[in-house]
Structure 1
Amino acid sequence: MSRIIDGEQLNLIGEKVKQARKKLKFSQKQLADRLETEAVYICRGSISRIESGERTVTDIEIAGLSKVLLVPINELFPADAGFQK
């Protein structure tokens, strides 16, 4: 069985997370702090690794990122991932 994610890229949402964070003018630390208020614990360093594709992301983390970044979950994924409406 083939893996959905192979090679060096460990997530599909990193670039969109970075774009949404910058649109809201949040630093990575501010995003980490806001996630903590939603009981989603991702440190600043892990946010950096998510954005660069070096870290996987759980479904709970994706839900928290979506809520804090004010972006529907499907919009965190690239258009070619097949999750867009």
Structure 2
Amino acid sequence: MYKNRAADGALNLCGPKIAQLRQAYTPALSQRALADRLQLCGLDVDKNAIQRIERGQRFVTDIELRALAEFFQISADQLLEG
């Protein structure tokens, strides 16, 4: 039977990479600051959504994945790399 979870139980593969990129951003971004910047790019997310994504507690849509990749100036495939 197919399950919608990663091997570790997470609901997405990109959460840890997003957290890493956010913290490495110069200057480092808070989850709220990242949500604010994504809203300026047209993506309707809040701090709680970023927190849940990073923890693997929320699915990430393809639209969100594309917006995050564009914001961090990397490919969507790079967000999915372990």
TM-score by length of 2: 0.85
Which residue of structure 2 lines up, in the alignment, with residue 69 of structure 1? 72
After the TM superposition, which residues 45-84 of structure 1 pair with which residues of structure 2 at under 5 Å, given as runs? 45-79=48-82
Please give the secondary structure, in 1, of the residue aligned with 2:35: helix
How much has 1:72 moved relative to structure 2? 1.5
Q: Supply the distance in 2 between the matched residues of 1:55 and 1:4 (Cα, whole angstroms).
A: 11
Please give the secondary structure, in 2, of the residue aligned with 1:30: helix
Is the counterpart of residue 18 in structure 1 residue 19 in structure 2?
Answer: yes
TM-score by length of 1: 0.83
Q: How many residues align?
A: 79
Which residue of structure 2 lines up, in the alignment, with residue 33 of structure 1? 36
Q: Supply the distance in 1 between the matched residues of 2:29 and 2:69 (Cα, whole angstroms).
A: 14
Q: Supply the distance in 1 between the matched residues of 2:71 and 2:30 (Cα, whole angstroms).
A: 13
Q: Supply the distance in 2 between the matched residues of 1:66 and 1:38 (Cα, whole angstroms).
A: 12
Q: Supply the distance in 2 between the matched residues of 1:40 and 1:74 (Cα, whole angstroms).
A: 19
Q: Supply the distance in 2 between the matched residues of 1:8 and 1:52 (Cα, whole angstroms).
A: 11
Q: Which runs of 5+ in 2 are unaligned?
A: none
